[in-house]
Amino acid sequence: MTEHEDPSSDRLKQHFAQRVIHQARQVLEAWQRLQRNEWNGVGMQELGDATSLLQRYAERFEQTEHLQLAKAIGQCLQGVADNRGRLNSGLISELNLLMQRLSRTGLRHGDRLEQTVLPPLRKPVYLALQHLDRAERLAQQLEFFGMSAKPFDSANAFRAAMLERHPAAILMEVDFSGPGAGLQLAETVQQGLQHKIPLLFFSHDDTDTPTRLAAVRAGGQEFFTGTLDASSLLERIEVLTHVAQYEPYKVLIIDDSRAQATHTERVLNSAGIVTRTLIEPIQAMAELAEFQPDLIILDMYMPDCNGTELAKVIRHNDRYVSVPIIYLSAEDDLDKQLDAMSEGGDDFLTKPIKPRHLIATVRNRAARARDLMARMVRDSLTGLYNHTHTLQLLEDARYRAQRDGQPLSFAMLDIDFFKKVNDNYGHPMGDRVIKSLALFLKQRLRKSDLIGRYGGEEFAVVMPNTDAKTAAHVLDEVRRRFAEIHYPAQPQDLSCTFSAGIAELSSDLDSKNLSKQADEALYVAKHGGRNRVAMYGA
């Protein structure tokens, strides 16, 4: 045996790799905690310390990819510190991107060593079901959606895993390891935990109220009965675990006093709220289109244009009718404040204002505005953007792509033979398939890709900075994996496919014609045999 084949050397490398992997996970979990706490100094310090340690380990154990990522994350955090804690969209976007790359990084230790992939940002889901084969099938289905799941065959195996690592969520059958024993087991393993693990219960048969009450008392946040569907389960886990990019609230501050605007910025930035300041109110509409804020803070008295006049101008545009406007002024006359609010304002804050008051008001108003906007622009069944908003997003993306000289692709997808699904299995099954594809697209595509439900069983995807060939490659992989999903049904399980058409933006094309070209490509895919991806003009 040569020295290059020394197994102890390989084991040592593997050990070092695991140290780096463990520390990378610490960085990702610190990032998640920072998101949940809406950005604070303690969380920033924790993330910075974890990143510094990752950099030291990666340097020491010669893990180049992790070293580069740790340095880049550290530079972003230093950028926030150098800016006195002030945030901007660029820094947040860069951090989001780096964290996504970190969650996908593979370690390569030589040809003979098996590649070790860093676990995703999400921890695995633990599946404790009476029948192991059912749990294994469900785990396989969840893998198709990009979620790791671990089935267990006994209460002891489940307890041992809980001692080793906590999961993202637990799916527990009420009768796992004995009648009603699952309820007790789930409650026991969570005792003493500072942060409770999202817990979902399952029963193959419908249950009585006492059983459901016991599930609630054991900490259950969801109760499934009958047939378990991977897409429905994943949807609930997504909601319960809040796994998402950090998307801070964006606030546009319009104030002719730079000193006052800077003070307001610092207060909001310290709470993780991204701001942009406008000293010239006359530029407001252009800034709104570019920045797309969740909320506007408006000074009451400005030389060229007072706050109430500007509020009226903003409200004239349909896109900004629901964006909250908060007046921030030294005006303490109640009648004048009420008059101002009747002119398009939502709230009036009087200077000087306590930072906590300002932060709480902005957060509450922005949260409600986001929720309202989501209901206005999203499809109720899938949570994807609706037809009208998808076209608006396409137009915005087209403008940016042509301005910046970047490629843009637009894809239209259609579930094959969907009418037969509804006719043979019923509309509830049809809805499950639609929701399943929506979830699959969200899991498999980038965060920057914009996904909409175009209508019925038809979907649309706006893919910025992507040429048609790349888009076709990505969607063809999604198409292939989607076809592997099975939906439990009688007399046999159901599986579905989709067809897709893709068009790429050219310099002289508008969004309407780009959409038309994608539709024509979809027609080619459907009439070419379905279950395929076609590019316009190919």
pLDDT band at 244 (very low <50, low <70, confident <90, very high): very low
Q: What is the pLDDT, as a whole number, of residue 265?
A: 87
Q: Do 269 and 207 have their domain in common?
A: no
Are 345 and 447 within one domain?
A: no
Domain boundary among 79, 97, 117: 117
pLDDT the model gives residue 62:
82
Beta strands 116-117 and 106-107 are antiparallel
Predicted local distance difference test score (pLDDT) of residue 71? 94
Average pLDDT over residues 200-222: 88
**Is residue 105 assigned to a domain?**
yes
My answer on whether 154 and 199 are in the same domain is yes
- Does 13 score more than 70 pLDDT? no
pLDDT of residue 282: 85
Q: Convert the pLDDT of each residue in 301-336 to its tens digit.
A: 888 778 888 888 888 888 888 899 998 887 777 887
Tell me, what's the pLDDT at 520? 96
Structure tokens of 113?
A: 């060593």
Q: Is the pLDDT of residue 242 over 60?
A: no
- Of all residues in the chain, what percent carry a pLDDT higher than 90? 35
Q: What pLDDT is attached to residue 243?
A: 43
**Domain limits at 208?**
125-241
Q: Which neighbouring-strand residues pair with 534? A: 501
Query: Is residue 382 domain-resident?
Result: no
Residue 119 confidence class, pLDDT cut points 50, 70, 90: very low
Residue 12 domain-assigned? yes
CA distance 380 to 385: 9
- Among 117, 151, 186, the domain boundary falls at 117
Alpha-carbon distance of 42 to 226, in angstroms, equals 45
Question: Which positions ≥6 away from 309 have C-beta within 8 Å?
Answer: none
Does 282 fall in a domain?
Answer: yes
Give mean pLDDT, residues 207-218: 87
Would residue 381 count as lying in a domain?
A: no
Q: List the one residue out of 44, 56, 73 whose CA is nearest residue 20.
A: 56
Overall number of domains in the chain:
4
Residues 528 and 435 in one domain: yes
Confidence of residue 110 (pLDDT cuts 50, 70, 90): very low
Regarding whether 227 and 345 lie in a shared domain, the answer is: no
Q: Say if 223 falls within a structural domain.
A: yes
Tell whether 236 and 283 lie within a shared domain: no
Section 32-47 average pLDDT: 73
Claim to verify: residue 236 and residue 255 sit in the same structural domain: no
CATH number, position 365? 3.40.50.2300
pLDDT at 109 over 50: no
Position 459 scores a pLDDT of: 97
Which of 8-12, 149-153, 229-233 is the most confident on average?
149-153
Residue 8, pLDDT > 70, answer no
Same domain membership, residue 201 and residue 95: no
pLDDT at residue 86, rounded to an integer: 63
Hey, how many other C-beta atoms are within 10 angstroms of the C-beta on 52? 15
Of 22 and 5, more confident: 22
Which CATH number do you get for residue 89? Answer: 1.20.120
Amino acid letter for position 54 = L
Domain limit, last residue, from 216, 241, 266:
241
Overall average pLDDT of the 37-64 stretch: 84
Claim to verify: residue 321 and residue 435 sit in the same structural domain:
no
Spatial CB neighbours of 324, under 8 Å, sequence gap ≥ 6 = 294, 295, 296, 346, 347, 365, 366, 368, 369
Q: Is residue 158 part of a domain?
A: yes
pLDDT: which is higher, 66 or 80: 66
> Is the pLDDT at 97 greater than 70, yes or no?
yes
**Coil vs helix vs strand at 324:** coil
- Other C-beta atoms closer than 10 Å to the C-beta of 260 total 17
**Which residue has better confidence, 243 or 159?**
159
Same domain, 103 and 144: no
Are 527 and 452 contained in the same domain? yes
- Residue 327 contacts residue 365 (beta carbons within 8 Å): no
pLDDT per residue as tens digits for the range 281-297:
888 888 888 888 999 99
Predicted confidence at residue 420, as pLDDT, reads 93
Q: Is 129 helix (H, G, I), strand (E, B) or coil?
A: coil
Give the pair of three-digit tokens for residue 402.
């042509």
- What pLDDT digit, counting tens, does each position of 410-427 carry? 999 999 999 999 999 999
> 528 and 428 share a domain?
yes
- The pLDDT assigned to 239 comes to 67
Q: Count how many residues are written for the chain.
A: 538
Residue 432's pLDDT is 86
Query: What is the rounded CA–CA span in Å between residue 228 and residue 107?
Result: 35
Indicate whether 177 belongs to any domain: yes
Q: Please report the pLDDT score of residue 106 as a whole number.
A: 46
Q: What distances in angstroms separate CA 501 from CA 240, 334, 412, one per listed residue? A: 34, 59, 5
